[in-house]
Amino acid sequence: MTGQPVYGPVMVAMSGGVDSSVAAALLLEAGHEVVGVTLRLWGGESDSGCCAVSDVDDARRVADALGIDHHVFNLGDHFDSLVVGPYVADHAAGRTPNPCIECNRHVKFGRLLDRARALGFGLLATGHHARVVVRPDGTRRIARAADAAKDQSYVLHMLDQDQLASLLLPIGDLTKDEVRQRAADLGLRTADKPDSQDVCFITREHGREDFLRRSLTLTPGRVVDGSGAEVGSVAAVELVTVGQRRGMALAGGAAPRFAVDVDVAGATVTVGSIDDLMVDATPLEAFSWADGPVVGRVLVQTSAHGSCDPAVLDDGVVLWAEPRPRVAPGQSVVFYDGDQVLGGSIARRA
Partner 1 sequence: MEGAYLDHAASTPARPEVVEAMLPWLADHPGNPSGSHAVARAARRAIDDARDLVAALVGAGPGDVVFTSGGTEADNLAVDGVVRATGGLPACSAVEHPAVLAPVADAGGIVVPTDAGGRIDLGALAEVLSAVDGIRLVSVMAANNETGVCNDLDAVAAVLAEGAHEAVLHTDAVQAVAWIDLTVACRAAGLVSLTGHKFGGPKGAGALVVRSGVPLAPVLRGGGQERERRSGTQNVPAIVGLGEAARLVVADRDATVTRVGALRDRLEAGLLAGVPDSRRTVPYGTQRTPAIAHVCFDGIESEALLFLLERDGVSASAGASCASGAQEPSHVLAAMGVDRASAVGSLRLSLGHGSCDGDVDHALAVIPAAVARLREHDRAVGSR
CA distances for 174 relative to 22, 141, 209, angstroms? 10, 18, 37
Contact with partner 1 (CB under 8 A): which of 7, 31, 47, 71? 71
Rounded distance, CA 324 to CA 309, Å?
9
Contact (CB, 8 A) for 231 and 251: yes
Q: Which of 281, 347, 349, 277 is nearest to 314 (CA)?
A: 281
Q: Is 163 in the site for partner 1 (CB under 8 A)?
A: no
Extended beta strands in 61-210, E state: 69-74, 123-125, 130-134, 140-144, 167-168
| Residue 40 makes contact with partner 1 by CB under 8 A | yes
Total residues at the site for partner 1 (CB under 8 A)?
Answer: 19
From the list 73-81, 184-192, 230-238, 337-345, the region that binds partner 1 by CB under 8 A is: 73-81
Q: How far apart are CA 302 and CA 348, in angstroms?
A: 12
> Of 264, 347, 239, which Cα lies nearest the Cα of 300?
347
Identify which range of 56-64, 219-227, 266-274, 307-315 contacts partner 1 by CB under 8 A.
Answer: 56-64
Q: Is 200 a catalytic residue?
A: yes
153 contacts partner 1 (rule: CB under 8 A): no
Could you give the string, one character per residue 99-118, with x where binding to partner 1 holds by CB under 8 A and - elsewhere?
---------------xx-xx
- For the question of residue 103 being annotated catalytic, the response is yes
Residue 289 to residue 96: CA distance in whole angstroms: 22
**Contacting range for partner 1; rule: CB under 8 A; set: 55-63, 198-206, 278-286, 295-303:** 55-63
73 binds partner 1 (CB under 8 A): yes
Give the footprint of partner 1 on this chain (CB under 8 A). 38, 40, 51, 53, 56-57, 60, 69, 71-74, 76, 114-115, 117-120
* Active-site residue set: 103, 200
